[in-house]
Amino acid sequence: MACNSCSTGKNGQPKGCKNNGTCGTDSCNKLTVFDWLANMSLPNGEKPFNWVEVRFKNGRKNYYKNTENLTLSIGDVVATQAKAGHDIGMVTLTGELVRVQMKRKNVSAQDNDVLKIYRKASQKDIDIWQKARDREEPMKVKARQFAIDLKLQMKISDIEFQGDASKATFYYTAEERVDFRELIKVFAREFRTRIEMKQVGFRQEAARLGGIGSCGRELCCSTWLTDFRSVSTSAARYQQLSLNPQKLAGQCGKLKCCLNYELDTYLDALKDFPKTEIKLKTEKGTAVCQKTDIFKGHLWYAYEGEWMNWHKITTAQANQIIQANQENKKVASLEEYASDLVEDTKNEFENVVGQDSLTRFDNPKRRKKRKNNSKNDNQANKSTRQNRNKRNKNNRRKPQKSKNETK
């Protein structure tokens, strides 16, 4: 959900807050939560919840206790507690919704190791934080080259500095276990800072980096999806999708998470369908299922040996035939059931104006072959005329013999 500054201007062009991913209302950022309780006051005697949600680089979030009772609002840059030193982040949620988010993510407010908020970030803190952020991209290029030189089967996807620039966390992906002890020594000697290596999955890597999916929108994992459920190829089979790994895989290389979105609807619709492996036995022959239409409730069967002739029947008719076969009875043929399904061929659009098609001028005109044939015919006629004239001239030049000479 965008903020008010993202609305359209006078000339129809978008205004934009021009904050480049650090929107003050946190409405344009990753994994944002809309605070719909912001305009509501607490009941009398109720104290506000003293925990806040803080977002760091690439959607990483954590929950901190406001022990100093600071007046915080969404968009404030704060200095938070870390294992060593302090970190810099942006407040993304305050109030009662933080309690809901903590319960949803199983974060307990009664733990002894509670992280705290120190203060609002000063200009000095922000300058150190920005300088550390500027170092991340060139460091990532060098780190990848060091991993290649050591021949390690791993991919360094992202680097995140702590807010006080005292530690750098390297996020990497690997299919197998990697011994990176020598790599850490090289990093510490080259970058002169504390190093922490953190392995993430391929889905977590795509969520951190973000991108555009095949649907044309931003990736679900980087915008709103937080729990990564397992996706299997059976989800594609139930939805009758082609098992093409290039189309079913997302940017993470795994199966797309959106395959699970409509799976429950397909499973509910398939409850009334018979199994496609069951053959229908008729007096005319045995029929095998060729195709199903889940939402219309139709099945297409073909007799063995007559694979080109498909007969469409409903799920109720198919279940009726299967039940009869279980009782050792055979129906006459599928044509009796298929004749009941008469498709309605009435056009919804009636041509009132008298035009054939609204897009009839979009297709280019085809060249007529008759013109070429007429040209060839004209050339052939010319050649025959010329040959005929030559023969006439030759006949005129020859002298005619008289009758006496012939005798």
Where residue 398 falls among pLDDT bands split at 50, 70, 90? low
pLDDT of residue 374: 55
| Model confidence pTM above 0.85 | no
> Quick one: tokens of 255?
């199966």
Where residue 110 falls among pLDDT bands split at 50, 70, 90? confident
160 or 396, greater pLDDT: 160
Q: At what angle do helices 181-191 and 123-149 cross, to 10 degrees?
A: 130
pLDDT at residue 352 is higher than 80 = no
Q: Quick one: average pLDDT of 295-324? A: 90
131 or 358, greater pLDDT: 131
How far from 139 is each of 25, 86, 229, 339, 383, CA to CA, in Å?
A: 31, 21, 33, 72, 82
20 or 96, greater pLDDT: 96
Among 99-113, 114-128, 299-313, 318-332, the range scoring the smallest mean pLDDT is 99-113
Distance CA 13, CA 321 (A): 63
Among 77-81, 86-90, 320-324, 337-341, the range scoring the smallest mean pLDDT is 337-341
pLDDT of residue 43: 82
pLDDT at residue 407 is higher than 80 = no
Strand partners, 311: 301
204 in Cβ contact with 176 (< 8 Å): no
pLDDT at residue 16 is higher than 80 = no
**Phi and psi for 147 in degrees, rounded to 5?**
-65, -35
73 or 349, greater pLDDT: 73
What mean pLDDT, rounded, does the chain reach? 82
pLDDT digits 0-9 by tens, 40-74: 888 887 888 889 999 998 888 899 999 888 888 88
pLDDT of residue 38: 77
How far from 337 is each of 171, 301, 302, 317, 330, CA to CA, in Å?
A: 62, 11, 13, 7, 13
pLDDT of residue 12: 57
Distance CA 339, CA 177 (A): 63
pLDDT at residue 386 is higher than 50 = yes
pLDDT of residue 345: 46
The CA-based angle 369-372-374, given to 5 degrees, is 110
144 in Cβ contact with 116 (< 8 Å): no
149 in Cβ contact with 103 (< 8 Å): no
pLDDT digits 0-9 by tens, 112-148: 778 899 999 999 999 999 999 999 999 999 999 999 9
pLDDT at residue 239 is higher than 80 = yes
46 in Cβ contact with 58 (< 8 Å): no
DSSP string, 296-362: TTEEEEEETT-TT-EEEEEHHHHHHHHHHHHTT--BS-SHHHHTT-------SS---S--S-TTTTT
Outline where DSSP puts E strands in 162-254. 167-173, 194-199
pLDDT of residue 394: 65
- Cα four-point dihedral sign 144, 145, 146, 152: positive
Range picked from 1-10, 83-92, 108-117 for highest mean pLDDT: 83-92
pLDDT of residue 360: 65
Where residue 334 falls among pLDDT bands split at 50, 70, 90? confident
